[in-house]
Chains A and B, each alone.
Chain A
Amino acid sequence: MFTNIEITQFRSCAGVNISDLRGITALAGRNGSGKTNTLRAIRWLAAMATGGDDSRGIGTVEGHREVSATIQLADTTFRYHVQHVSTQNGPELMESLVSDQIKVERNGEQVILDFHDEPLQIDLDAPCIPAIISLLPHLSEVDYLAQTRAFFSSVHYYALDEPHYSKPDPWGMIPGHRYEKWVSEQSTGRIESDVPIRLLHMSKERPEDFDEVVSLLGEDGLGLLRKISVHEVDLSEDESELVHLVRFTPIAQKRFGRGFSSLSAGTRRAVNLITSMVYDKSAVMLIEHPEDGIHGALLTKLLDILRVNCDPLQVFLTTHSTAVFDQLKAEEVRLVSMTEGETSVRSLSDQELTAASNFMQNDGSFSDFIETVQDD
Chain B
Amino acid sequence: MYGVIGEDKSDFESLKILIKRITGDQGLTVKGRGFGSCDTMLKKGAQQLKLLADFGMTRFIVCYDSDGHDPAKRREEAMRKIIGPSKLSDFCITIPVQELESWILADFSAVTNIFRSWKPERHPNPENVESPKEFIVRASRDSKSKTRYSHATHNPRVARHLDLDIVYEKCASFRPFRDFVKKPTV
Contacts and interface: CB of A to CB of B under 8 A. Distances in A.
Interface of A: 208-209, 212, 215-216, 219-222, 297, 300-301, 304-305, 307-309, 311, 326, 360-363, 365
**A220, A301, A309 — which one has the most chain B CB atoms within 10 A of its CB?**
A220
A219 B146 CA distance: 17
Given A361-B39, A363-B39, A208 B151 contact: no
Contact of B147 (A212, A300, A360): A212
A308 B149 contact: yes
B102 interface: no
13 contacts: A209-B146, A212-B147, A216-B153, A219-B157, A220-B113, A220-B114, A300-B9, A301-B153, A305-B153, A308-B140, A308-B150, A362-B39, A365-B40
A362 B39 CA distance: 7
What does DSSP make chain A's interface, helix, strand, loop or mixed?
helix
Interface in B37-71: 37, 39-40, 43-44
Nearest to B113: A220
B64 to A, nearest CB: 16
Contacts of A305: 148, 150, 152-153
A358 to B, nearest CB: 11
Interface string B16-28: 0000000000000
A273 B149 CA distance: 17
Nearest to A309: B148
Nearest to A326: B36
A363 B43 contact: yes
Given A208-B146, A212-B146, A362-B39, 14 more contacts: A209-B146, A216-B147, A219-B157, A220-B113, A220-B114, A220-B157, A221-B147, A297-B9, A301-B153, A304-B151, A304-B153, A361-B39, A365-B36, A365-B40
B137 interface: yes
Contact of B150 (A301, A326, A365): A301
Interface residues of B, number: 23
Contacts of A301: 150, 152-153
Interface of B: 9, 36-37, 39-40, 43-44, 113-115, 137, 140-141, 146-154, 157
What does DSSP make chain B's interface, helix, strand, loop or mixed?
helix
A304 B148 CA distance: 10
Contacts of A215: 114-115, 147
Nearest to B8: A300
B67 to A, nearest CB: 14
Contacts of B115: 215
A215 B117 CA distance: 12
Given A212-B146, A362-B39, A222 B9 contact: no
B153 A222 contact: yes
**B40, B140, B152, B154 — which one has the most chain A CB atoms within 10 A of its CB?**
B152
A82 B113 CA distance: 49
B40 A363 contact: yes
A304 B152 CA distance: 7
A308 B137 contact: yes
Contacts of B153: 216, 221-222, 301, 304-305
**A311, A360, A363 — which one has the most chain B CB atoms within 10 A of its CB?**
A363
A305 B151 CA distance: 9
A311 B137 CA distance: 12
A324 to B, nearest CB: 12
Contacts of A209: 146
Contacts of B150: 301, 304-305, 307-308
Contacts of B37: 360
Contact of A300 (B137, B140, B152, B157): B152
A221 B157 contact: yes
**B113, B150, B154 — which one has the most chain A CB atoms within 10 A of its CB?**
B150
B84 to A, nearest CB: 18
Contacts of B36: 326, 365
Nearest to A362: B39
Contacts of B146: 208-209, 212
Closest 10 pairs (CB-CB, A-B) = A304-B152, A363-B43, A304-B150, A301-B152, A308-B148, A220-B114, A301-B153, A305-B150, A212-B146, A308-B150
B162 to A, nearest CB: 14
A321 B137 CA distance: 26
A297 B152 CA distance: 9
Contacts of B43: 363
Contacts of B149: 308
B47 to A, nearest CB: 12
B150 to A, nearest CB: 4
Contacts of A361: 39
A360 B149 CA distance: 27
A222 B13 CA distance: 13
